[in-house]
Every structure is written in structure tokens, then in C-alpha cells.
Amino acid sequence: MSDMTYRDAINLALREELRRDPTVFILGEDVALYEGSFKVTRGLLAEFGAERVRDTPISENTIIGVAIGAAMGGLRPVAELMTVNFALLAMDQLINHMAKIRYMFGGQTMLPMVVRAPGGGGSQLAAQHSQSLESYFMHCPGIHLAMPATPADAKGLLKTAIRSKNPVMFLEHELLYNSTGSVPDDPEFLVPFGKARVMREGSDVTIVAYSRMAVLALEAAHALEQEGVSCEVIDLRTLAPLDVATIVASSLKTGRAVVVEECCGAAGLGGDIAWRIHAACFESLLAPVKRVSGLDLPMPYSSALEKLCIPQADTIIMAVRDVVNGRT
């Protein structure tokens, strides 16, 4: 095990997979010479050369289209979008092609490709660069969706994604890049898709979260422990496939649940997860499931207003108190 940042864990995963499999290559804006906007691809051009670490024009639609063609031709592209907000410029390729090709070809072709993209709010980058778009991709059949919360999961999930036969959206929260944690040194360390992690066991309430919200949920759980409230924290890891079994088992155990998402509440994925808990656990629940979501607003530039738009540890603490005390 080695302590490293979330950023370096992703870099290590890319490096190991480039060494392991000659069909893996990276493409995107500024991934080579500039080494990525967040320096995730640092040092890869020097080691693997311009054939396997390729700078592209500023055209997200083209980046994804090229990656799709390469994957159909037998390669394993890892396409980086400078920010998930720019995925909106490539939605035709992502939704109409990448997500559907395996189905429309009757399973006769694989599509082993990964689309990496940073996103989320909290960096004071304003409305067009601070969105959380995971609900868009979770809503689309045919796309696997991973959102790691820790450096270890960032490495293990990305390696699993690169080795998959399915197209994977791999979304990284910008505020997690400098977070640190222990990461296995084993180059065969993989984290399976569709298997949530119990970050903390508890008995009074289940908190279901993912990505940076899982980190904040854990922080909230530690604070609530001082009040005598025992929280079980579930990090979903992947949203598609979604580990419903772990969510339901925990909710049955505690009898209460809070679902936390950074994306906007309207038509957000938290509503879907809350419905699944209600459907499976209705007779065992001691209180209605509570949702904590981002506000239904374009992200403001002001840091003070931005903080109000995004769930914080204190927001989660208040929601847990409501559920435990029977307030809806």
C-alpha cells in the first residue's frame, strides 16, 4: 500500500494499463504536452509516446467519435473530456452511438472504451463549468457509470473500466483530486462494478452517497456519533450498475435512510434511489426516506452562494436529525 492523491491514483491506473495492454491509448484536449488540465496524465507522453497519448483538436464530438471507431476496431481508448460540462457537445456520440452500438449490432461488436471527465461544483467556476451531470448518463441504458470517492477506488474502478467490454463514463470530482489515501500497489488491483462499499457501519440510519458526497457523508457520520446517532455510510462507487442489494440490506437494518446527491434535485438520481428503498423496505421503515440534493439553480460564481447550492456536511447532519427525530 502507498499513500497518494486521488489524482496520482488515476495516473497510476492509466500507467499500469498502458504498460499491460498495447491496445490501450489516451486521447483528449491537452492530455499529452500539457499533461492534462488537472495534471492527471502527467508523465505519460514521455513514457509512451505520441501514438498512445494523443492531443486532439478542441472538438468533444470528434474526440468521442474517434474513440468509438477505435473501440469498434479493437483498441481500448481512454478519452478525456476537459470537463464533464463539455460532454454536452458530444451527446449525440455518447447517447445515440456509444450507448447503443452493442445493442444495435446484436452483441456482435464490443465497445471497450472509457470517457474520463472531471466535474462537480465548489471550485468557483460558475454555471457552465460546475455541473453534476451524472443523472443524464444514469438515465441512458448501455452506459456504465463510475464515480469513485477515494484514491483506492479511483485506481481500482478505472482499471476495471479500461478492461471492460462496455463503454464506461468515469466521472471524477474536481475537489477530490488533492485528497489522499492508501492505494494498493498491486497492478492487478481491481474494484468490481455494481458493488457498493460500506464505508462505516451503523445502526440508526443509512446514508447513501457517492463521489465527494460520500466523503462528506462520512464526515457527517463522525460528527453525529458525538450526538449518539449511529450512521451507516454507503458509497455507491458505480451508479450503473447500481448495487441495490447493499442499499436495501442497510436500510432494512437501520430502518431509516438519507440519500445524498450533488446534482439538482429535480429528476435527480436520488429520487430513483429513494423510491427503490421505499419499494423494498416500506414495512420496515421507521421514517420516510430523506433526500439531500443540490439546489435547482445554475451554479453561481460567488463562493458563498455556491456553497449554499451544494450539499455540505452540515446539510447532511440536519437531514439525519430530521429522519431520526421523525421530522419530514
Known catalytic residues? 60, 129
**Residue 46, class by beta-carbon neighbours within 10 Å (0-12 exposed, 13-18 middle, 19+ buried)?**
exposed
Quote the CA–CA distance of 195 and 205 in Å, as a whole number.
20
| Cell numbers for 136 | 443524464
